[in-house]
Amino acid sequence: MHVNSKEYQEHSIFEQLEKYSSFYDSFSISIMSFMTLGTKAVLNIDTRVYASMAGSLDSIRLLLQLGRINDAFALQRKFYDSLLMNVYVNLYLDDHHSLKNFIVEKIQNWLQGTEQLPDSRTMINYIKNSPRTSELYLMLHKDKRYIHIRDRANDNTHYNFFRNVMLNDNKVYNEKRIEYLNAMQSDINQLVLMHLSYIFLLNPHYMVSSEQMDCFDLGLEPPENAQYLVANFIQQIFDELVKKYRPDIAEYIKKNSCMLLD
């Protein structure tokens, strides 16, 4: 299959990547006013993280459109690392921030550029062993899907096989191009699902609708339990992604959240 073929250029992964990028852009803006406790940051640091993740998804889409599938998989590895980092930082802050430890030094130093975060294996183990996330970790890793996702990305990052080299040549005919697009589409779905599952569990207030603040701005009395109402775009991705592919995790999040998810 050639890169400029109709079947390739109209593959549904391109619409999917655009949708997820748009989601992270909206998510970035919607959480901006929530201060990141444990740091000196004025704006929520996740605002910058999610804007960056949206950019990575845009870059993956552009690379795929050019037929640079190998580079796109390598960038998917970066996207995987970014979501692990985001979950780790939020969890670490939640574990270590207190009145006695008002500024969490490890994360503040990272923000200031004076200390690196631990490697991905250490972050994964921290998430795996935390009482806050251990049960969700086991649910997400009930099979080897995330091992396979990381292996695919690593193979392309490190040219582990000659076929990975060939995936970046957009001039040659490759009968398996659609198979690789299908694989990446599934991988991206699972990665976004994993990320949002952790974040919705750790930071349920990130899901909140703006209705309460809108009412205050207009001098109106907000409806009862407005602080627990979920933003429409959050409910939409929860339905289309988490509920659809992992209804067990959707129920787990609903059970362990005060937010009024449908």
Residue 224's pLDDT is 67
Nearest of 182, 194, 147 to residue 64 by alpha carbon: 182
Average pLDDT, stretch 29-50? 94
Residue 19's pLDDT is 97
pLDDT over 90 at 209, yes or no: no
pLDDT over 90 at 211, yes or no: no
pLDDT over 80 at 214, yes or no: no
pLDDT in tens, 168-201: 989 988 889 999 999 999 999 999 999 999 999 9
Distance, in Å, from the CA atom of 261 to the CA atom of 253, rounded to the nearest integer, reads 9
pLDDT in tens, 115-163: 999 999 999 999 999 999 999 999 999 999 999 999 999 999 999 989 9
Question: Can you give the residue ranges of every domain in the chain?
Answer: 6-204
Residue 213's pLDDT is 59
CB 231 within 8 A of CB 34: no
What sign has the CA pseudo-torsion 65, 70, 71, 74? positive
Q: Which residues pair with 230 in a beta bridge?
A: 208
pLDDT in tens, 50-105: 999 999 999 999 999 999 999 999 999 999 999 999 999 999 999 999 999 999 99
- 198 alpha carbon, distance to own chain's centre: 9
Average pLDDT, stretch 240-255? 96
Residues in the chain, how many? 262
Residue 102's pLDDT is 94
Give 173-181's long-range contacts (Cβ < 8 A, gap of 24+). 173/1, 173/2, 174/1, 175/1, 176/1, 177/1, 177/3, 177/8, 177/67, 177/69, 178/1, 178/7, 178/8, 178/11, 180/69, 180/73, 181/8, 181/11, 181/13, 181/64, 181/69
